[in-house]
Amino acid sequence: MSLGAHLVELRKRLFFAAIGIIIGMVIGFLISEIVIDAMSAPIKVIADERGQALLNFTNVTSAFDLRMKIALTTGVVISSPVWLYQIWAFLVPGLTRKEIKYAVAFFASAVPLFLLGCYAGWTVLPHIVELMVSFTPAAASNFFDAATYYDFVLKLVLAVGIAFVLPVFLVLLNFVGVISAASIIKSWRVAILLIVLFTAIATPAADVVSMFLLAIPMVILYFAAYGVSYLHDRRKAKDVRRLEAELASGGTV
C-alpha cells in the first residue's frame, strides 16, 4: 500500500473506533448513577458507622462533570473490543505469521489479567478508604470531593490492573528473544521487592491485609511468567540441538 492508502485506512479505523467510543460513552452516561453508587459504597458504610462521611460536590457543574468523566471511562472500557479490533486490523497486514501468533496470545492473556487486576483493586478499595478515614480526629468530619475521590478510585483500579499485565510482557519479551527464563528467575528477589513496594504505595503501608491481597497474586503471576518462559526456552534449546545434530550428520535444513 502507498502512504496515501495507509492514511486512508488509518482514517477509516479511527472513525470506527471513535464511533464505538461515543456509543460506549452514551451507555456509560446512562449507567453513571449506578457507577457512582458503587464507588460511594465504602463512604456510605463509614457514614453508617461514624456518621461523618459524605461525598461532596463543590460547585454547580461538578456533578455533571463527574458523570461525564464516568461516561468517558466507561465508554472506553465498553467499546474496547471495537477500538482494539480497529488497531488490530490496521496492524495485521504488516505483521508476519509468527508475530500475529504472538500478538493473539498476548491479547488473549492480557485482557483477562487486566480485568482480574482491576477487580483486585476494587476489592481492596473499601479497606483503603476505611483505613484512611480512621485517622480523622473524633471531633472532625470527612467531606470527600467527588472528582478527587473518583480520580483516586480510577488510579487505584487501573494501576493494579496494569500491574497484573506486566508478567505477560515478560513472557512476550522472552518469546521475541529479548530476555531469557534464567534472567527472569535470577531477578526474583528484586522482583518481589518491587512488587511489595508497589503494593505498599498502591495501598496504605499500615494496611498489611490489603497489601498482601495484591502482592500474593502478583508474585504468583511473576513465577508463572518464569514457568512459561522456561518451557519456551527449553523447547527452543531442544530445536537447536536437533538442528545441530542434523547438520552434523550431513542432513539438510
b/e map 88-115, b = 16+ CB within 10 Å: eebeeeeeeeeeeeeeeebeebbeebbe
Query: pTM for this one?
Result: 0.70
Instruction: Determine the pLDDT at residue 118.
Output: 83
Instruction: Determine the pLDDT at residue 4.
Output: 76
Q: Is 81 helix (H, G, I), strand (E, B) or coil?
A: helix
Q: What are the sequence ranges of the domains in the chain?
A: 1-94, 96-123+160-253
Instruction: Determine the pLDDT at residue 197.
Output: 84
Q: Which residues pair with 118 in a beta bridge?
A: none
Mean pLDDT in each 10-residue stretch from start to end of the chain (253 residues)? 77 90 91 86 75 74 87 85 80 73 78 83 81 72 80 81 83 81 88 84 62 81 89 84 77 52
Say which amino acid occupies 127.
Answer: H
